[in-house]
Amino acid sequence: MRIDLNSGIVQASDPAALSKSNPQSSSQAAKGEAPSDVANLSNTYGRLQELTGMINSQAEMRQEKVAALTAMVQNGTYRCSPEQTAEALLAHMANT
């Protein structure tokens, strides 16, 4: 699964269009004042970064588990009872 962090960002092609849409900045420009930029950051961005890190670390742990299971299958040491196989299949079918 890939998370695109830039999906909600839209760049304006015309800087003048931004000043037209913001009446405060146009009044500041008329007075000769430099427009002030205001950034409103939410806690969502920090939480998103935290969750992204958790997902990335999960992928590494899963790779280790897959590698261990692959080695067991190749060595012939992996054992699974028919009951375990049936339970896993039913659980998978119930989730999909």
Domain positions in the chain: 45-96
Quick one: pLDDT at residue 18?
52
Residue 35 · residue 25 · CB < 8 Å? yes
Which whole-number Å values give the CA distances from 18 to 23, 42, 75, 87, in the listed order? Answer: 9, 22, 65, 59
User: Which pLDDT value is given to residue 87?
Assistant: 96
Q: How far apart, in Å, do the first and last CA atoms of the chain sit? A: 17
Rounded Cα gap, residues 79 and 69, in angstroms: 10
Q: What is the pLDDT along the chain (96 residues), one digit of tens a residue?
A: 666 666 656 555 555 555 555 555 555 555 667 778 877 777 888 888 898 888 888 777 788 899 999 999 999 999 999 999 999 999 999 987
pLDDT at 55: 83
Prediction pTM value: 0.34
